[in-house]
Amino acid sequence: MSTDSHQDLAGKVALITGGTSGIGRDAAILFARHGAKVVVTGRRAEEGNETVKLARAAGGDALFVKGDVAKTADVQTMVQKTVEKFGRLDVAFNNAGIEGAWLPIAEAAEEEFDRVIGINLKGVWLCLKYEVQQMLKQGGGGAIVNMSSVAGLVGFAGAGIYIASKHGVIGLTRTAALEYAKSGIRVNAVCPAVIDTAMADRAFGTDPEAGKRVAAMHPIGRVGKPIEIAEAALWLCSEKSSFVTGHYIVLDGGMLVGPANPGA
Class of domain 13-200+226-251: alpha beta
The C-alpha atoms of residue 19 and residue 71 are separated, in whole angstroms, by 17
- pLDDT above 80: residue 197: no
Model pLDDT, residue 5? 47
Model confidence at 205, in pLDDT bands (50, 70, 90)? low
Model pLDDT, residue 195? 87
The C-alpha atoms of residue 188 and residue 174 are separated, in whole angstroms, by 7
Model confidence at 81, in pLDDT bands (50, 70, 90)? very high
Q: What is the mean pLDDT of the chain?
A: 92
* End-to-end CA, the chain: 45
Region 146-175: what's the mean pLDDT? 97
Whether residue 123 contacts residue 43, with contact meaning beta carbons closer than 8 Å, is answered with: no
Tens-digit pLDDT profile for residues 25-60: 999 999 999 999 999 999 999 999 999 999 999 999
- pLDDT above 80: residue 2: no
Region 193-205: what's the mean pLDDT? 68
Ramachandran class of 218: left when φ > 0, alpha when ψ lies in -120 to 50, beta otherwise: beta
- pLDDT above 70: residue 202: no
Whether residue 119 contacts residue 74, with contact meaning beta carbons closer than 8 Å, is answered with: no
Model pLDDT, residue 1? 34
Model pLDDT, residue 30? 98
Tens-digit pLDDT profile for residues 226-241: 999 999 999 999 999 9
Q: Output phi, psi for 62, to 5 deg.
A: -150, 160
Instruction: For the full predicted model, state whether its pTM sits above 0.85.
Output: yes
Tens-digit pLDDT profile for residues 137-149: 999 999 999 999 9
Q: Which residues are catalytic?
A: 162
Chain centre to alpha carbon of residue 63: 18
Model confidence at 213, in pLDDT bands (50, 70, 90)? confident
CB atoms within 10 A of CB 209: 8
Pick the closest to residue 172 from 195, 138, 146, 150 (CA basis): 146
Model confidence at 206, in pLDDT bands (50, 70, 90)? low
Region 246-250: what's the mean pLDDT? 98
The C-alpha atoms of residue 53 and residue 47 are separated, in whole angstroms, by 10
- 212 vs 88: which has the higher pLDDT: 88
